[in-house]
Amino acid sequence: MEIQEIKQRLTMAQVLAKYGLKPDKHMRMNCPFHEDKTPSFQVYYKTHTAYCFSSNCPTHGKSLDVIDFIMYQEKCNKHEAILKAQDFIGIPNLPQPQPKPAPKPENPKPTPEEKAVFLNKMFTYFKNAVYNSKPAQDYITGRKLDFTKLDIGYNSGQFHHGARKDETLINQCLQHGLLIDNNIRLPDPRAVTC
């Protein structure tokens, strides 16, 4: 698994929860990497990074992504941190031999593995959207749920519209049942006559 894919699928909130850590309402907490009496560790959920502002921290003023956080928390090297991150996501750490792909038919039915990867990617997108939407957070909190502890997603209804509209994404969502094609087509404005 590529590092970028790990960072897309594993959020900082998930990593902190795995270690039983939770920032305060200002996204600060005592740094887990050194003795800290006042919160010097800032968490940034939008970028899935964190930063310790203390000069006593072994991170030496480095912005930490999820893999860096695991590396410092586990006191391990980067390779071991990547394996641990894969474990958090639920990906086996042993490399699987890759068979040569057969030519794909025009509208191939996705394998269960392809479907799981796609649905996981989409849910991660929706889960991350919670941290970028105050109304979603307020709604979830109003339902007496804790979005920092639960896997909750939010869809503003815009992921397949506007600038994000991508035929590949729409086709994948149709193929996997996230969207339904009701055969409603908007007329071509150039074809409309008065």
- Mean per-residue pLDDT for 58-83? 93
- What letter would DSSP give residue 59? T
Residue 163 is predicted with a pLDDT of 46
CATH classification of the domain holding 67: 3.90.580.10
Helices 66-74 and 78-89 pack at an angle, to 10 degrees, of 110
pLDDT grade for 34, boundaries at 50, 70 and 90: very high
Q: Is residue 75 part of a domain?
A: yes
Tokens 């009496």 belong to 37
The residue range of the domain holding 59 is: 3-89
Question: What is the enclosing helix (H) or strand (E) of 88?
Answer: helix 78-89
Domain total for the chain?
2
Same domain as 82, residue 22: yes
**Nearest alpha-carbon partner for 88 in 157, 151, 22:** 151
* Distances, alpha carbon 173 to alpha carbons 9, 15, 33, 139, in Å: 18, 28, 42, 26
Which of 89, 122, 156 is the last residue before a domain boundary? 89
- Percent with pLDDT over 70 in the chain: 79
Same domain as 84, residue 14: yes
Sheet of strand 49-52, all strands in order from the earlier edge strand to the far edge: 28-29, 41-44, 49-52
Same domain as 72, residue 14: yes
Same domain as 67, residue 136: no
pLDDT > 70? residue 104: no
